């Protein structure tokens, strides 16, 4: 069998790699990964606006590289993705530095110093590929003329690395201005705060990141310890695998958050709906923020929707499981192995159910079992059939049944009124308003004057005592277990039977 050597054309391959799909924030996150792998504790990112001469620089205080290590690091596919990695390594494919950089810039220069040794510097320039005779993959020594001063920080460092992007043709496009660079910096800060939040947290964080001189503060997706949370589960270990752990969270409803700034921060960079679902981490570095990993019911994946937007599930995997979880080069997709899907589905289903109830009741929920066994019947009944879902007022509801019992000749008119209300519920309008406002309509006496709550409570109390035959203490206990009155226990405790005239 004949064998041919078919190496890729350098120019064509490098231009193709530019289209992998990196955004600037994700590209910079990949470079921070390299800094962490080099044991950096401080990473400084600088975006300099200078029109077509704009540049981006990343300085870290990691171990640095000597000449041989730098040349290996600048080579495409420098490491075999099948090789075993150190447990703390955030890389896999040996492409991140180059593909992330080329996705944004045409010139990549890296300078480094190890243990007080000499500064070594190598450069890729896509505009010069194919220009050097006899060298298809030209790796230039030293910075480009005129850029030498940008590597000055290394002169004062015992060890560390500087990465410089120039010719930012994918960033500084036609019409791009200084204001766009400022907006871009805000998006980068939000992404880094989310991606590395577990490394940035604490009084003495493992990592400190500066963006244009300002320290990046961590964004906590889970509002750990917030008193308004409905669920903050223990950490579960997934069976039939090693090192995979899960923790389920239900965030507080927006009504439980005090200020607009707190609400916006809790929503996250993508907003409430986009941020719901699984958060997949490798070595505490966030790979995937939100989404349901293709899990679902009846062969249909769960969508991201308003009803479940408070559900967030932390999922940790070891870097030895990259291939099994199908982690891609961009570190932006993951797919759980088939043998683990049933466990994840069960945990996610339970979390979604709780999140739906919290969302529907605006943060005020009562456990499904146990404490509500003596509650009054709900006013509305949901009926599902082959013809669709309908909503009906329960004629056996304590207050309604009491009124109908005393209605006399008005009973047919009251029944007709109830039927009219059922058939004219503005379902479509409620749905549209909810979708547009990103919030459920106010119910449960939210924002209502206390006098209105007392008036309705009194009528319910009278119905329970005089129609159902409960004693006043039993009636008060039942109302205390019945939404939405269970939010007004002080008013319930003051209820007394009115003397008949």
Contact 175, 181 (CB under 8 A): no
List Cα–Cα distances, 483 to 141, 192, 250, in angstroms.
72, 42, 20
Q: Could you tell me the residue ranges of all domains in the chain? A: 12-215, 231-360, 380-493
Write down the pLDDT at residue 368.
40
| CA–centroid distance for 27 within its chain | 18
Read off the DSSP letter of residue 206.
Answer: S
Output DSSP code: residue 376.
P
The residue among 285, 275, 281, 286 whose CA lies nearest residue 244 is 281
Identify the CA nearest to 229 among candidates 218, 237, 221. Answer: 221
On whether the CB atoms of residues 80 and 30 are closer than 8 A, the answer is: no
**pLDDT tens digits, the chain, 501 residues: what are they?**
889 888 788 888 888 888 877 999 999 999 999 999 999 999 999 999 999 999 999 999 999 999 999 999 999 865 544 455 455 444 443 577 999 999 999 999 999 999 989 999 999 999 998 887 778 889 999 999 999 999 999 999 999 999 999 999 999 999 999 999 999 999 999 999 999 999 999 889 999 999 999 999 999 999 998 888 889 999 999 998 999 999 999 999 887 888 888 989 999 999 999 999 999 999 999 999 999 999 999 889 999 998 999 999 999 999 888 888 888 777 778 889 999 999 999 999 999 999 998 887 765 554 443 344 567 777 888 777 777 778 889 888 888 989 999 999 999 999 999 999 988 888 778 777 766 665 666 677 777 888 888 889 899 888 888 888 889 998 888 888 887 888 888 888 888 877 654
Q: Give the whole-angstrom CA distance, residue 141 versus residue 231.
A: 56
* Residue 137, both tokens: 């993959």
Beta strands in 95-251 (DSSP E): 107-113, 120-125, 140-141, 160-166, 208-211, 214-215, 231-232, 236-237, 245-250
Contacts of 88 (CB under 8 A, 6+ apart): 37, 283
CA 277 – CA 399 distance, rounded (Å)? 40
Gap between the Cα atoms of 148 and 155, Å rounded: 12
d(CA 447, CA 84): 59
What's domain 12-215's architecture? 2-Layer Sandwich (3.30)
Q: What torsion do the CA atoms of 471, 475, 477, 479 make, to the nearest 10 degrees? A: 180
* CA 248 to the chain's CA centroid: 13
Task: Note whether 34 and 91 are within 8 A (CB).
Answer: yes
pLDDT of residue 278: 97
- What b/e readout covers 100-120, taking b as 16+ CB neighbours within 10 angstroms? bbbbbbbbbbbbbbbeeeebb
Q: Strand ranges (DSSP E) for 126-257?
A: 140-141, 160-166, 208-211, 214-215, 231-232, 236-237, 245-250
The answer to whether 33 and 96 are in contact (CB under 8 A) is yes
Q: Output the CA torsion 135→140→145→150 (10° steps).
A: 160
Percentage helix, strand, coil for the chain under 3-state DSSP, each rounded to 5? 35, 20, 45
Enter the DSSP assignment of 154: G
Would you say 363 and 253 are in contact if contact means Cβ atoms under 8 Å apart?
yes
Which residues have a Cβ under 8 Å from the Cβ of 190 and sit 6 or more positions away? 25, 219, 269
Distance of alpha carbon 205 from the chain centroid:
21
What does the alpha-carbon distance between residue 88 and residue 199 come to, in Å, rounded to a whole number?
12
Please state the φ and ψ torsions of residue 15, each to the nearest 5 degrees. -65, -35
Q: Does residue 57 contact residue 50 with C-beta atoms inside 8 Å?
A: no
Within its chain, how far is the Cα of 296 from the centroid?
A: 19
CB 320 within 8 A of CB 243: yes
């Amino acid at each position: 069998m004949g064998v041919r050597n078919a190496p890729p054309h350098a120019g064509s391959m490098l231009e193709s790699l530019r289209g992998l799909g990196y955004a600037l924030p994700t590209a910079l996150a990949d470079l921070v990964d390299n800094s962490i792998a080099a044991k950096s504790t401080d990473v400084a990112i600088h975006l300099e606006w200078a029109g077509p001469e704009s540049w981006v620089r990343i300085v870290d205080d990691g171990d640095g590289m000597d000449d041989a290590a730098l040349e290996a690091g600048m080579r495409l596919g420098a490491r075999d993705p099948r090789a075993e990695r150190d447990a703390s390594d955030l890389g896999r494919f040996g492409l991140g530095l180059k593909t992330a950089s080329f996705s944004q810039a045409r010139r990549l220069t890296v300078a480094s110093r190890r243990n007080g040794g000499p500064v070594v510097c190598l450069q890729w320039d896509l505009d010069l590929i194919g220009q050097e005779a006899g060298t298809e993959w030209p790796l230039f020594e030293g910075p480009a003329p005129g850029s030498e001063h940008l590597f000055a920080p290394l002169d004062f460092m015992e060890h560390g690395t500087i990465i410089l992007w120039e010719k930012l043709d994918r960033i500084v496009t036609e019409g791009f201005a200084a204001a766009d660079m400022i907006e871009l910096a805000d998006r980068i800060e939000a992404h880094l705060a989310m991606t590395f939040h577990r490394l940035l947290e604490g009084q003495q964080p493992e990592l400190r990141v500066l963006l244009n001189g300002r320290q990046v503060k961590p964004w906590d997706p889970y509002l750990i310890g917030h008193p308004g949370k409905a669920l903050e589960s223990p950490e579960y270990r997934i069976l039939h695998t090693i090192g995979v752990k899960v923790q389920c969270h239900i965030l507080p409803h927006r009504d439980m958050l005090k200020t607009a700034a707190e609400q916006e921060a809790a929503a996250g960079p993508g907003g409430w709906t986009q941020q719901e679902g699984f958060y997949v981490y490798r070595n505490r570095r966030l790979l995937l923020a939100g989404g349901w990993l293709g899990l679902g019911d009846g062969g249909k994946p769960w969508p991201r929707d308003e009803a479940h937007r408070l559900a967030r599930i932390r999922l940790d995997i070891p870097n030895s499981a990259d291939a099994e979880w199908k982690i891609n080069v961009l570190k932006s997709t993951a797919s759980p192995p088939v043998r683990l899907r049933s466990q994840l589905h069960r945990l996610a289903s339970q979390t979604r159910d709780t999140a739906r109830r919290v969302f529907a009741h605006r943060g005020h929920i009562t456990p499904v079992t146990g404490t509500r066994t003596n509650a009054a019947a709900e006013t509305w009944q949901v009926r599902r059939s082959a013809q669709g879902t309908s909503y009906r007022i329960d004629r056996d509801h304590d207050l309604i049944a009491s009124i109908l019992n005393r209605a006399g000749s008005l009973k047919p008119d009251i029944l007709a009124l109830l039927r009219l209300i059922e058939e004219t519920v503005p379902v479509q309008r409620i749905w549209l308003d909810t979708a547009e406002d990103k919030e459920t309509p106010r119910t449960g006496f939210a924002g209502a004057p206390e006098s209105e709550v007392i008036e309705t409570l009194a009528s319910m109390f009278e119905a329970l005592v005089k129609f159902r035959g409960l004693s006043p203490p039993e009636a008060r206990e039942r109302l205390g277990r019945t939404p939405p009155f269970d939010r007004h226990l002080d008013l319930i405790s003051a209820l007394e039977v009115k003397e008949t005239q």
